[in-house]
Structure 1
Amino acid sequence: MGQQEKVATSLAGAVSEGISASLVSVDEELARRYPGDPGTRQPVHTVYVPGDAFDAGTIRSWGDQALAMLDEHAPDAASLAAALGLPDELADDVHARVRAKLEHEPIEDLRVDFEDGYGGKDGAAEDADAARAARLISEAYATGTAAPYMGIRMKCMEAAVRDRGIRTTDVFLSGLMEHGGLPEGLVLTLPKVTYAEQVSAFVRLVEAFEKAHGLDAGRLGFEIQIETSQAILAPDGTATVARMIDAAEGRATGLHYGTFDYSACLGVSAAYQASDHPAADHAKAIMQVAAAGTGVRVSDGSTNVLPVGPTDKVHDAWRLHYGLTRRALARAYYQGWDMHPGHLPTRYAAVFAFYREGFEQAAARLSAYANQAGGDVMDEPATAKALSSYLLRGIDCGALGTDEVARLTGLTRADLDGFAAPRRGDLTATAP
């Protein structure tokens, strides 16, 4: 036993109490504005289907079309690996998982579109399509055939289409209530937001709907679509998107980047409008920083290059989509848009390869951290959070199995959830 050290202090307890009292408002502000990730599943993509084209068979139809394309253009693991540049050791597993995904859950998030993808319809037609969407989505959830997340993108809050957007939202939500209530996976997307006041206006809209139906306050959240330069940079030079999150009053669930509207807004030529353009990277970096810690998730945009035609053309489009998806994942954009059934095979191939190739290393590092076993990397609590979040995302999308994660980490799902959502103070603690 060594000599016991004498502990000396110089400050009275009142000093600590006074400092804490002076920071009460800051503590409350941190808790309100930065609650952290909600810990729920984030879909790997969002599929947009025009309101007049959506029907009860849409999800299965997309899955069947994607399977047919896979069978025609990459019928086995070797051909898929050759087309996409997959490592040989991942090819069999990724190909099998992609097929299984397309068979059992081809779409993770579906948005019935009443904005750009809808076209010009008269009011009666849009009313009917919105009511039909509500009925079909309600029936899908009741029968177990729904995607995990479903909802609509209404028209924006700009003057020319504002009344129509409000009415479509009302018709759709009222229809859901008529057919059994709001499903847990409901998602609303507000497009072309340029001012925080438009977000505040949409908050007033959903508040009014909640009150009209006796729903809990805050039941209705929504995504904000970032498609204009004004959404990134305000006239005074500040970040508008951060104001938008605040204006949502805790209801914002996501920020979705609109590749082509945003690019066109900046004057980018059509041939260069893509999610990897420097202008896109700048916008998404601003979105990412503004959303960090708020519980609002960021989604990448889409590619408009469709995998259609002969096999060589399909493979070219697949390689592009696969590469863009992998690039987004590396930048922590875990969600994107898919515009065509042919994008589903490469969406899932990219996502599954991303999680499969890093799985063993992530599991080993998290296991060593949890067991204080040391190793060749000194991980901190923030890194443990990232490691467990990575594994949880892999499990949620089907890239990883719960059993294999438990086998390599020795951790349960509850353990992973605990590491992924630590208390704020834990992230600044010293690693064990």
Structure 2
Amino acid sequence: MQGSAQQESSTGHYTIAIQPIVNAQLQHVADELLYRGDVTANSAHVFDDVQATARACAVAIYEIGLDKLCGQRQLFINASGDWLLNPDLISLPADQIVIEVLEDTQVNEPLLAALRRLKALGYTLALDDFEPNAANRPLLNIADIIKFDISTGIPIALIKRLDQDGYTLLAERVETYEQFEQCKALGFSLFQGYFYQRPQVQVTTTQRHSTSRANQMQLLAQLYSDKVRLPALSTLIARDPYLLNAVFKRANSAGKAAQRPAYKLLDCIHIIGLKELRTLVSIVMLAGNNPASKVNLINGLTRAFACEALAEQRGLDEEEGFIAGLFSHMPVILGVNLEAMLQELPLSQAVSQALTQRIGALGKLLTDVEACEQGDVNPSVPAGLILQAAADARSLMDVHIS
């Protein structure tokens, strides 16, 4: 993930690449997560290690989803010292994430304490491009996997000693099958490089619109409150379409092992849990997503509030009304195709049918609200519904949009 300190554009076109890691039998057992400033980049241009890791994790976990990206395989992520020392960022799935300590990380007691905590939580730790010296030798007491960049030479004596000590050794930048055989004979059991496959860029369709930092800071404040109020959390999450999408996707991922799909925002929050929700919000904040169009957000929330109010009047589920209204406008807010969005998000059948076919009680409700938005008069819809919903939406958005 390291690269030159080159300032990238702020267009939000960043993505990830993954490179396979194979075992001695050439079985694909893991992947390394690599940050890319845009889909055409062949390498990373990192100007901020923490933001690069945050963006890579956001794409992998909250946009694509680990189950879709790498299935049950482990995923190696590069983590700088600043990332490791921030407890808000470490609530990723410990059974699947391997944390790579970058070679230029300053080793001190706070860092070692942080790594010990990660080990206690069940994370696997790898040392990236390891070259032993007096400063980083304490890392050997914590590490599980040690990576060697064989393009810079193969320290045979060190490798044999570490192999005898029981470390898992990973050879990276393996370019040829002959190098693979050589490393295998030396005791390496994991291999990564062009001999097997080049990094594969992952393209996502999500446009990374997000509300202001002020909204996200309010959300963090609520998450760390002595008395966390779930309705307030739901309101703040609903204000941020990128975050809302991430919460639904993460709660319904295979990794959360939910017995049944979660269709409601409060259910999603319960499934994810406050600890991981703090990580999710922190990662989205650090990823630096661009603020959404205020007009699109207000329009989407206006429809959502109108559908919620009309659902209450008609004896329907109010939150399903809100979700149907907001997600009907989500393709405009996020810049995604409705069908693609529905493939990614397991919305209830009633909401899905309302969105795609405008059928059922929710479909009729959504049709009536959309007609009112165009100025139609409907005796079954309270006068002033849209005006009140618009006022509620503007009130919700009264934090400053950056």
When normalised by structure 1's length, the TM-score is 0.27
Q: With the length of structure 2 as denominator, give the TM-score of the two structures.
A: 0.29
Higher strand share: 2
More helix by share: 1
